[in-house]
Amino acid sequence: MPLRHIGLLLAISLFWGTNFAVAKFALMEMPPFLLTGLRFAFVIAILFPFIKRHPGQMRLVLLVGLTGGALNFGLFFLGLKFAPASAAAVFIQLNAPFAVILSIVFLGERLSPHYLVGLVLAFGGVMVLSFDPGIFQYIGGLIIVATCAFFVATSNVLMKKLRGIGVMDLQVWIAIVSCPGLLLASLLFESGQIEAIRSSSWIPWAAILFMVFGANFIGHGGVYYLLQRYDVSRISTMLLLAPCIGILSGVFFLGEPMTLRIAIGALITLTGVAVIAMKPADKSAPEPEEAL
C-alpha cells in the first residue's frame, strides 16, 4: 500500500476517532436524530452540485445511502446518547469482523495467513479495550451501536460493487436518502427540537461542521476511495485504529480514565494494523487505480 494511502487511512482514523468525543459534546444540547438530520442537510447544501443519476446503479446507490447513512448514523448517535464515547468507539469496530464475513460470502475475498494474523491481533486489541466489568451499566446503548456496526459493514460491501461514481457524488446521495428519514424520526420520537436549535450554543453547530468536513468528506469519502482499490476486509481492519484514537479522545476531552488495559489494548491493535499495512504486495496483482 503506497504511503499516501496509509496517510489517508491515518487521517480517516483521526477524524473518526475524535468524532466520538465531538458528537458526545453535541448530544448534550441536541437530540440524536435531529443532530444527524441537520448534519446531512449541511452535506446536501454543500454537495448538491455534484449529484448525478446513475442508470442501472440507482438501487445500489439508494441501498448504500440507507445502510451507510440513515441506519448507520441514526443508530450510532442514538447509542452514543446512552453510552460513553470510549465504549462506543470500541463497539462500532465490530464492523470489521462483520465486513470480513460479508466480504468472504458476497465478494469472494480470501484471507491469507499473514492477513489473518493481523486481523486477530487488531480485533484482539479492540476486545482488550472493551473488557470492562462496568460495561453492563450501558449495555442497551452498546447493543444499538453494535447493530449500527453491522450496517456499516453492509454499506462497505455494497460500495465495493459501485462503478464510476465519484466520492462527492456518493456522499450527496447518501445525504439525500438519509436526511428526510432522520428528520421524520426526530419528529416522531424526539421533542423540543425548535427549542434545542434556538437555545443551543456554538458547540453543536461546530460539531456538525466537524462531522461534515472531517467524518463525512474525509472519512467516508476516503473509505469509498480506498474501497475501489483494496479489499473490504483489509480496509475495515486497518480502520481499527479509530477506536484507539476514540478512547484517547474520551480520555483527553471527556475526562474518561486512562488505564493499563487501554494502553495494552491500543498497542495490540496498532501492531495488528501494522502487520496488515506492511503486507508485501502481490507482484502478480494489478496496481490499484489512481484516478479519483
pLDDT at 287 over 50: no
pTM value is 0.74
Sequence-distant contacts of 187-193: CB under 8 A, at least 24 apart: 189/33, 190/31, 190/32, 190/33, 190/34, 191/31, 192/31, 193/31, 193/34
Taking the CA atoms of 46, 173, 2 and 11 in sequence, report the sign of the dihedral they define. Answer: positive
pLDDT at 249: 81
Amino acid occupying residue 34: L
pLDDT at 273: 66
pLDDT at 210: 92
pLDDT at 42: 92
Q: What is the mean pLDDT of residues 101-124?
A: 75
Lowest-confidence pick of 39-43, 50-54, 175-179, 193-197: 50-54
- Tracing cell 499495512 back to the chain, one arrives at 277
Q: How far apart are CA 118 and CA 124, in angstroms?
A: 10
C-alpha cell at 77: 448517535
Lowest-confidence pick of 81-90, 165-174, 274-283: 274-283
Cβ proximity of 68 and 151 under 8 Å = yes
Q: What is the mean pLDDT of residues 231-252?
A: 77
Q: How far apart are CA 120 and CA 76, in angstroms?
A: 25
3-class DSSP string for 253-291: HHCCCCCHHHHHHHHHHHHHHHHHHCCCCCCCCCCCCCC
At 203, is the secondary structure helix, strand, or coil?
A: helix
C-alpha cell at 150: 453491522
Higher per-residue pLDDT: 178 or 146: 178
pLDDT band per the 50, 70, 90 thresholds, residue 289: very low
Taking the CA atoms of 277, 278, 282 and 288 in sequence, report the sign of the dihedral they define. Answer: positive
What one-character DSSP code corresponds to residue 83? Answer: S
